[in-house]
Amino acid sequence: MSTLLDVAGVGKSFKGLRAVHDVSFQVSEKEIFALIGPNGAGKTTTFNLIAGAIRTDTGGIRFAGRDIVGLRPDQICDAGIGRTFQIVMPFPDLTVLENVMVGALHGETDVAAARRRALDCLALLELDTRRHVYAANLTLPDRKRLEVARALATRPRLLLLDEVMAGLRPTETDRMVAILKRLRAETGLTILLIEHVMRAVMALSDRVLVLHHGERIAEGTPEEVTADPAVLECYLGSAPV
Amino acid sequence: MDTVTLLNVLVAGLLTGCVYGLSALGLSVIFGVIRIVNFAHGEILVVGMFMALVLFRWIGLDPLLSIPVVAAVLFAFGYLLQASVIQRVAHLPEHMQFLLLAAIAIAMVSGCLIVFGPDAQNVQLDYALDSFAVGGLIIDKTRAYAAVAAVALAAALLAFFRFSGTGRAIRACADNYLGAQVVGLNVSRLYAFTFGIGSACIGAAGCIILLLVDVHPYLAPGYTLLAFVVVIIGGMGSLFGALLGGILIGVAEALAAEMIQPSLKSAFSFALLILVLLFRPQGLLGKAGR
Amino acid sequence: MIDRLFGDLTRAGLAALAAFVLLLLVLPGFATGYILSVTTIILYLAFVGQAWNLMLGFAGLLSIGHALFMGIGAYASAYLFARHGLPPIVGLIVGGGLAVAVGAAISALAFRFAIGGVYFALLTIAFAEFTRIMVDHARFLGGTEGLFLPVSAESRQGFDLFHLRGRPEMFYYVIMLLCLGAHALCRWLLTSRAGYYWRAVRDNPQAAEALGVNIFRYRMYAVMVSSGMAATAGVFYAFFYNNLFPEQIFSVERSIEMTLAPIVGGVGTLFGPIFGAFVLTPLGEVLTWAIEWLQHEEIIGKQVKVDGVKLLFWGIAVAAIVLLQPRGLWPWACKRLGLIRAPEDREEGR
Tens digit of pLDDT for each residue in B68-115?
999 999 999 999 999 998 888 888 887 788 888 988 998 898 888 888
What ipTM, to 2 d.p.?
0.90
Please tell me the distance from the alpha carbon of residue C269 to that of residue C262, in angstroms, as a whole number.
8
List of chain C residues whose C-beta atoms are within 8 Å of the C-beta of residue B37? 118, 122
Q: Is residue C133 part of a domain?
A: yes
- Please name the helix (run of DSSP H) or strand (run of DSSP E) that holds residue A100, with its range, or none: helix A96-104
Tell me, what's the pLDDT at A233?
Answer: 77
Residue C343 confidence class, pLDDT cut points 50, 70, 90: confident
Higher pLDDT: B45 or B148? It is B45
Q: Is residue B173 part of a domain?
A: yes
DSSP for residue B86: G
Please tell me the distance from the alpha carbon of residue A159 to that of residue A76, in angstroms, as a whole number.
12
- Please name the helix (run of DSSP H) or strand (run of DSSP E) that holds residue A81, with its range, or none: strand A81-83
Where does residue C253 rank: exposed (0-12), middle (13-18), buried (19+ CB within 10 A)?
middle
Portion 59-88 of A in contact with C at CB < 8 A: 72-74, 77-78, 82-83, 85
Q: Is residue B268 part of a domain?
A: no
Q: Is residue C327 part of a domain?
A: yes
| Residue-number span of the structural domain to which B49 is assigned | 16-219
Same domain, A149 and A40: no
Least-confidence region, from B94-103, B118-127, B256-265, C300-309:
C300-309
C311 reaches B (C-beta below 8 A): yes
Q: Does A contact B via 3+ CB–CB distances below 8 Å? A: no
pLDDT of residue B153 exceeding 50, the answer is yes
Question: Any residues with CB less than 8 A from the CB of A154 and at least 6 apart, and which?
Answer: A77, A82, A103, A104, A106, A107, C211, C212
- Please list the residues that pair with B215 across neighbouring strands: B121
Same domain, A151 and A189: no
Same domain, A166 and A76: yes
Q: Is residue B278 part of a domain?
A: no
Least-confidence region, from A164-178, B175-189, B202-216, C73-87:
B175-189
Domain count within chain C: 1
Interface test with A, best of C111, C189, C196 (most A CBs within 10 A): C196
* Residue closest to A94 by CA, chosen among C60, B186, C224, C307: C60
List of chain C residues whose C-beta atoms are within 8 Å of the C-beta of residue A134? 343
Least-confidence region, from A153-167, C193-207, C212-226:
A153-167
Task: Pick the residue from chain C with its C-alpha nearest to A156.
Answer: C211
Per-residue pLDDT of B177-203, as tens digits, reads 777 777 777 888 888 999 999 999 999
Percent of chain B at pLDDT > 70 equals 96
Q: Does C contact B via 3+ CB–CB distances below 8 Å? A: yes
Higher pLDDT: C213 or C12? It is C213
Mode of pairing for the β-strands spanning A32-36 and A207-212: parallel
Per-residue pLDDT of A179-226, as tens digits, reads 888 888 888 899 999 988 888 888 889 999 988 888 888 888 888 888
Task: Pick the residue from chain C with its C-alpha nearest to B108.
Answer: C312
Residue C227 confidence class, pLDDT cut points 50, 70, 90: very high
Residue B110 burial (CB count, 10 A): 23
pLDDT of residue B289 exceeding 60, the answer is no
Tell me, what's the pLDDT at A32?
Answer: 92
Provide long-range contacts, Cβ within 8 A and 24+ apart, for A142-148: A142/A96, A143/A88, A143/A90, A144/A84, A144/A88, A144/A168, A144/A176, A145/A176, A145/A179, A146/A88, A146/A90, A146/A96, A146/A99, A146/A100, A147/A84, A147/A85, A147/A88, A147/A89, A147/A90, A148/A84, A148/A176, A148/A179
Same domain, A20 and A127: no
A149 contacts A125 by C-beta, under 8 angstroms: yes
Domain count within chain A: 2
Does the distance separating the beta carbons of B277 and C115 come in below 8 Å? yes
Q: Is residue A85 part of a domain?
A: no
Q: Is residue B181 part of a domain?
A: yes
Higher pLDDT: B125 or C115? It is B125
List of chain C residues whose C-beta atoms are within 8 Å of the C-beta of residue B266? 129, 133
Geometric angle at alpha carbon C127, from C123 and C133, rounded to 5°: 145
Interface test with B, best of C252, C253, C303 (most B CBs within 10 A): C252
Residue A94 C-alpha from the chain's centroid: 23
State the angle between helix axes of C11-30 and C168-190 in degrees (0 to 180), rounded to the nearest 10: 160
C226 contacts C54 by C-beta, under 8 angstroms: yes
Same domain, A170 and A148: no
List of chain B residues whose C-beta atoms are within 8 Å of the C-beta of residue C309? 110, 114
| Residue-number span of the structural domain to which A132 is assigned | 90-155
| Residue-number span of the structural domain to which C241 is assigned | 2-345
For C117, the closest of B94, B117, B271 (CB atoms) is: B94
Least-confidence region, from A19-23, A91-95, C258-262, C335-339:
C335-339
Q: Is residue B1 part of a domain?
A: no
A89 reaches C (C-beta below 8 A): yes
Residue C300 confidence class, pLDDT cut points 50, 70, 90: confident
Alpha-carbon gap: C212 to the closest alpha carbon of chain A (Å) = 4
| CATH number for the domain harbouring residue A191 | 3.40.50.300
A47 reaches C (C-beta below 8 A): no
Alpha-carbon gap: C277 to the closest alpha carbon of chain A (Å) = 25
Q: Is residue C350 part of a domain?
A: no
Tell me, what's the pLDDT at C262?
Answer: 93
* Residue closest to A17 by CA, chosen among A70, A57, A69, A51: A57
First to last CA, chain C: 14
Tell me, what's the pLDDT at B290?
Answer: 35
Same domain, A20 and A108: no
Same domain, A106 and A223: no
Q: Is residue C307 part of a domain?
A: yes
Q: Is residue C60 part of a domain?
A: yes
* Residue closest to A209 by CA, chosen among A238, A237, A231, A191: A231
Tell me, what's the pLDDT at C92?
Answer: 94
- Please list the residues that pair with A219 across neighbouring strands: A209
Least-confidence region, from B56-70, C145-159, C175-189:
C145-159
Q: Is residue A220 part of a domain?
A: yes
pLDDT in tens, chain A (241 residues): 688 999 888 888 888 788 888 888 999 999 999 998 888 788 889 989 999 888 888 888 999 988 999 899 999 999 999 999 988 899 999 999 999 999 999 988 889 999 999 999 999 888 888 888 899 989 888 898 899 999 999 999 999 999 888 878 888 888 888 888 888 888 889 999 998 888 888 888 999 998 888 888 888 888 888 888 887 777 655 544 4
Chain B partners (3+ C-beta pairs within 8 A): C
Domain count within chain B: 1
